[in-house]
Amino acid sequence: MSAVEVSHLSFSYDGQNDVIKDVSFAIPKGSYTTIVGHNGSGKSTIAKLLIGLLKAKSGEIKILGNILNEENIYSLRNHVGIVFQNPDNQFIGSTVADDIAFGLENHCVPQEQMQEIIEDVAARVNMSDFLDSEPTKLSGGQKQRVAIAGILAIAPDIIIFDESTSMLDPQGKASINEQIQKLHDERNITILSITHDMEEVAQSEYVIVLKDGKVEMQGTPKQIFEYKDKLKEMKLELPFALSFSEKLKNEGVFKDSYCTLDEVVNELCQLKSTN
Amino acid sequence: MSIKIHQLEHVYNQNTPFSHAALKGIDLEIPEGKVTAIIGQTGSGKSTLVQHLNGLLIPTAGTLDICGYHIQPLLKIKDVKQLRKEVGLVFQFPEYQLFEETIEKDIAFGPKNFGVEEGEASQLVRDILPVVGLDESYLDRSPFELSGGQKRRVAIAGILVLDPKVLVLDEPTAGLDPQGAKEMMTLFMRLNREQNKTVLLVTHDMEHVMNYCDHVIVLDHGVVKQKSDVKTFFEHPEWIVNIGINPPSIIRLKMRLKEAGFDIPDEIIDEEGLLKCIKRQVKIHE
Amino acid sequence: MNNIALGRYMPLNSVVHRMDPRAKIMILLFLMIAVFIPAGVWGYVLLSLFILLALFLSKLQLSFALRAMKPMIWMMVFLLVINVLVIKTGTLWFELGWFSIYSDAIYQTLYIVVRLTLMIIMTTILTASTKPLDLTLGIEKLLKPFDKIGLPSHIIAMMISIALRFIPTLIEETQRIMNAQASRGVDMENGTIKEKVMAILSLIVPLFVSSFDRADQLANAMEARGYNPMQERTRYKVLKMTGIDYVGLLASIALLGLCVVLAVVL
């Protein structure tokens, strides 16, 4: 069973121009998938459809095997969490602890259990020292980590990241990407990240490329990156590691190309030792 | 004329329990006609510093010389409006300053504040649109129906239309996709090259510093930690790492390879050089 | 903006800070009523002593509480002038040509000033010793009985707490837009009426646009995190009344009673 299964999904804001056009894809349970596309490709609209904030025009969305509809939307939100783009506009509580508690309160978790859960999830995102801090005292990256903690508190099966790092400075970005990787490695959480950070795409397992509301390509990062010209045409850049290993390939150093810096360094070290 | 900053200090809420020193004894000379990057972590004092450049803030100690203005504590700047025309400041997410019904009116708002006649302002707007990559068909449209990237272009046009000598940009590419960011940076570089505008770029993006800037200033907790030309700066990646900033990808690769025993001279900071250097040290496939 | 004392929370560790917000709100309510009972000079002496004690226990500086009075000073001066001009009863204290001051005018003003001062100090003690969120929670719990007559207490509380949460964010935003427009040559202080209207528009419109944006995103975030105003929710913070709360409540009720007695006797 897939964590998320989307079939023939269409959506329009004004009833005329479809921004999502007959989109179908499936996301395996426990996988780390990224959705990329230029601005206006419809990627954030998909996130809102998946979490039931928007209603599809046609087609269906299955979350953990259940078709999403108006009746089960509240119960399905026990299983799906989403971290949005703007760190400020999703911080609801007046302190970190209150904000993490917000979701627990909504899901009617008994009060006696809350403190333990809050401390546990805050520790998981390295925010234990800030439980009493007010949002104005936190950086963007810290606020996003609190948002992640708030979602972990309800122990979802799927977490969607909707351009969660695009408003952060590089440190914030790195800490959130690290957090995503950690969640994926340690827990069996399905991760769906909507992004235009090609470095992040390279670290994911599966990529869906959107163009003008349609699925243009899907596959592993490596398969996707084969279509360099197509990506360029869609205003998406190759990650540095890949473009550099292409150059090494042209120079006859590499036989293959690699998507991440780690792989490039490893490969070069091997070539050096055999030298 | 360069911008000279001497022993500049800024304390917020001075003489109250909430007093906080954001800048402490800043000494800088920012060369004319160049692109200078100001980098540093959130809270390092970057935004406070740039707000001094057009008189939004007055130093609590020290002096600042810019475009013929001598700015010092407690003294109201004479004709601060003219200073703001000479030094154009583009804030983060400038699209949030749009307010007029049409794009034409919004861009013309600045010139009109500076006393430019209606007709002339309208001509200035028509001249500036192509500079930011928009055409005349946009004139009568509402700025609020544009996409995020286009809104930002309109907002930036609202500053460029004043034809400032110095352009101060506070993270102009934040939130844009890589392609949009590239186009934006290209625009500023053209203004620098073709019109010899002095550009100050507050940024977190080290790739931008490396690819577009001439000089770098590093701020850390309100003091100048480092100032140098870009080449020297990236030859010393430890300067960047020390203040907790991630170096550009090419420098990261170079650092990793050096750790792994590759012999790479300091002065190599470009892809071609690195490629050649690597090629010499590995076995080449047939 | 940092000099505003009224409504600002001061993180101190005091008996008053630890009190249950419900008790504090009720005490404030009783004292407010007491202030309006015409209990004469002795009534105000007693009330002032009680409020000074509360101020002392809350570890707040008297100067901090008085700072909250600042915006009121002109109003009080205005009041004095009006009273002097209008009230012509009591003993004549001063006369110069057509201008005269009668004792009642001064007493009247004094009463109002004392009442206002007491009320502001009381309110400042409450807001300075209670976190906004606790205050909202207290209000919510106190309004709970009115749910039966259709008053959505938890929705009101949620609205207040979100408003409080976003005040600092909006102040920051306002400052940023003002700076951005100043950089486009807007002068908020000088200029003709027309220029001033434009200056204000250039601040208000972007502020509205971004606030609506925020509200929209916030609503999405709340809904995505399972918030449903029509559904039962559990609460993280629980309020618990302790001995000191009951003591405070009893004392304020006693004081109110005493004021009533004084008012009747006099």
For A210-230, how does the pLDDT look when each residue is reduced to its tens digit (9 = 90+)?
A: 999 999 999 999 899 988 888
Q: How many domains does chain B have?
A: 2
Pairing of strands B3-12, B215-220: unpaired
Confidence bin at B285 (pLDDT 50/70/90) = low
Q: What is the mean pLDDT of residues C109-137?
A: 88
Give how far A85 is from chain B: nearest CA, Å.
9
pLDDT of residue B77: 75
Task: Read off the DSSP letter of residue A238.
Answer: P
Interchain proximity C184–B13, CB inside 8 Å? no
pLDDT of residue B37: 95
Q: In whole angstroms, what is the distance from residue B260 CA to residue A172 CA?
A: 28
Among A141-155, B10-24, C252-266, which is the least confidently predicted range?
B10-24
* pLDDT value at C28 more than 60: yes
Average pLDDT, chain B: 90
- Determine if residue A155 is left, alpha or beta; phi over 0 gives left, psi from -120 to 50 gives alpha, anything else beta: left
* pLDDT value at C4 more than 60: no
All residues of chain A having their beta carbon less than 8 Å from the beta carbon of residue C235 are 105, 111
- Return all residues near C236 (Cβ < 8 A) that are at least 6 apart: A97, A98, A101, A104, A105, A111, A114, A118
- Return all residues near C216 (Cβ < 8 A) that are at least 6 apart: none
Quote the percentage of chain A above a pLDDT of 70: 99
All residues of chain A having their beta carbon less than 8 Å from the beta carbon of residue C223 are 53
User: Residue B276 falls within a domain, yes or no?
Assistant: yes
Quote the percentage of chain C above a pLDDT of 70: 97
In this predicted complex, what is the ipTM? Answer: 0.89
- Residue pair B24/B222 in contact by the 8 Å Cβ criterion: yes
For B163-207, the DSSP string reads: --SEEEEESTTTT--HHHHHHHHHHHHHHHHHH--EEEEE-S-HH
pLDDT of residue A79: 92
Alpha-carbon distances, residue C53 vs A254, C15, C47, C139, C249 (angstroms) = 80, 12, 10, 24, 14
List, in sequence order, every residue forming a beta bridge with A58; answer none if it has no partner. A10
Give how far A152 is from chain B: nearest CA, Å.
26
Which of 91-110 (A) contact C at CB < 8 A? 91-95, 97-98, 101-110
Query: B41 with B151, same domain?
Result: yes
Helices and strands of chain C, counted as H and E runs: 10, 2
Nearest to B16 among C2, C177, C180 (CB): C2
Give how far C173 is from chain B: nearest CA, Å.
9
* pLDDT value at B1 more than 80: no
Query: B155 with B275, same domain?
Result: no
Query: Mind listing the pLDDT tens digit for each residue in A39-84?
Result: 778 888 999 999 999 999 999 999 999 999 888 888 888 899 999 9
Q: In whole angstroms, what is the distance from residue B167 CA to residue B176 CA?
A: 20
Long-range Cβ contact pairs of C215-218 (< 8 A, separation 24 or more): C217/A84, C217/A86, C217/A89, C217/A90, C218/A89, C218/A90, C218/A92, C218/C162
User: Is A111 an 8 Å CB contact of chain C?
Assistant: yes
**Residue B26 has which token pair?**
């800043």
- Residue pair B151/B175 in contact by the 8 Å Cβ criterion: no
pLDDT of residue C2: 46
User: Is B149 an 8 Å CB contact of chain A?
Assistant: yes
User: Residue B8 falls within a domain, yes or no?
Assistant: no
Among A17, A169, A250, the strongest candidate for a mutation testing the B interface, having the largest count of B CBs within 10 A, is A169
The whole domain housing B252 covers 248-286
Q: What is the mean pLDDT of residues B41-68?
A: 91
Q: Which chains touch C (3 or more CB pairs under 8 A)?
A: A, B
Query: B282 with B163, same domain?
Result: no
Average pLDDT, chain C: 88
- Return all residues near B2 (Cβ < 8 A) that are at least 6 apart: B29, B30, B31, B32
Quote the percentage of chain B above a pLDDT of 70: 98
Nearest CA among B48, B41, B46, B64 for reference residue B11: B48
* pLDDT value at C3 more than 70: no
Interchain proximity B249–A255, CB inside 8 Å? no
Interchain proximity B249–A252, CB inside 8 Å? no
pLDDT of residue A157: 93
Nearest to C3 among B16, B51, B158 (CB): B16
User: Is B15 an 8 Å CB contact of chain C?
Assistant: no
- Tell me the residues of C at the A interface, defined by beta carbons under 8 Å apart: 131-133, 161-162, 164-165, 168-169, 172, 213-214, 217-218, 220-228, 231-238
pLDDT of residue C1: 41
Interchain proximity C2–B13, CB inside 8 Å? yes
Give how far A31 is from chain C: nearest CA, Å.
22
* pLDDT value at C187 more than 80: yes
Alpha-carbon distances, residue C83 vs C77, C108, C109 (angstroms) = 10, 8, 7
The domain ranges of chain C are 1-132+239-266, 153-228
Quote the percentage of chain A above a pLDDT of 90: 57
pLDDT of residue A236: 83
Interchain proximity C226–A107, CB inside 8 Å? yes
Among A42-46, A203-207, C185-189, C246-250, which is the least confidently predicted range?
C185-189
Query: Mind listing the pLDDT tens digit for each residue in C149-161?
Result: 888 888 888 888 8
Query: B220 with B274, same domain?
Result: no
All residues of chain B having their beta carbon less than 8 Å from the beta carbon of residue A38 are 177, 179
User: Is A166 an 8 Å CB contact of chain B?
Assistant: yes
Query: B105 with B154, same domain?
Result: yes
User: Is A184 an 8 Å CB contact of chain C?
Assistant: no
* pLDDT value at A274 more than 70: no
The CATH number that applies at residue B155 is: 3.40.50.300
Nearest CA among B96, B107, B144 for reference residue B129: B107
Interchain proximity B175–A268, CB inside 8 Å? no
For C81-108, the DSSP string reads: HHHHHH---S-EEEEETTEEEEHHHHHH
Query: B201 with B281, same domain?
Result: no
Query: B225 with B263, same domain?
Result: no
Interchain proximity A108–C233, CB inside 8 Å? yes
User: Is A140 an 8 Å CB contact of chain B?
Assistant: yes
Query: Mind listing the pLDDT tens digit for each residue in A91-130?
Result: 998 889 999 999 999 999 999 999 999 999 999 999 999 9
Question: Domains of chain A by range and CATH?
Answer: 2-228 (3.40.50.300), 239-275 (no CATH)
Query: Mind listing the pLDDT tens digit for each residue in B204-214?
Result: 889 999 999 99
Query: B158 with B257, same domain?
Result: no
More confident residue, C224 or A41: C224
Query: Mind listing the pLDDT tens digit for each residue in C170-184?
Result: 988 999 999 999 999
Query: B154 with B262, same domain?
Result: no
Measured between CA atoms, the residue of chain A closest to residue C210 is: A89
Task: Read off the DSSP letter of residue B221.
Answer: T
User: Residue B62 falls within a domain, yes or no?
Assistant: no
Report angle CA C240, C244, C248 to the nearest 5 degrees. Answer: 110
Highest mean pLDDT among A194-203, B97-106, B263-272: B97-106
* pLDDT value at B145 more than 80: yes
Confidence bin at C5 (pLDDT 50/70/90) = low
Query: B48 with B189, same domain?
Result: yes
User: Residue B69 falls within a domain, yes or no?
Assistant: no
pLDDT of residue A254: 84
Alpha-carbon distances, residue A9 vs A24, A50, A68, A71, C234 (angstroms) = 6, 10, 12, 19, 36
Strands, DSSP E only, in chain B?
A: 3-12, 20-30, 35-39, 61-66, 69-71, 87-90, 166-170, 198-202, 215-220, 223-229
pLDDT of residue A252: 83
Give how far A113 is from chain B: nearest CA, Å.
36
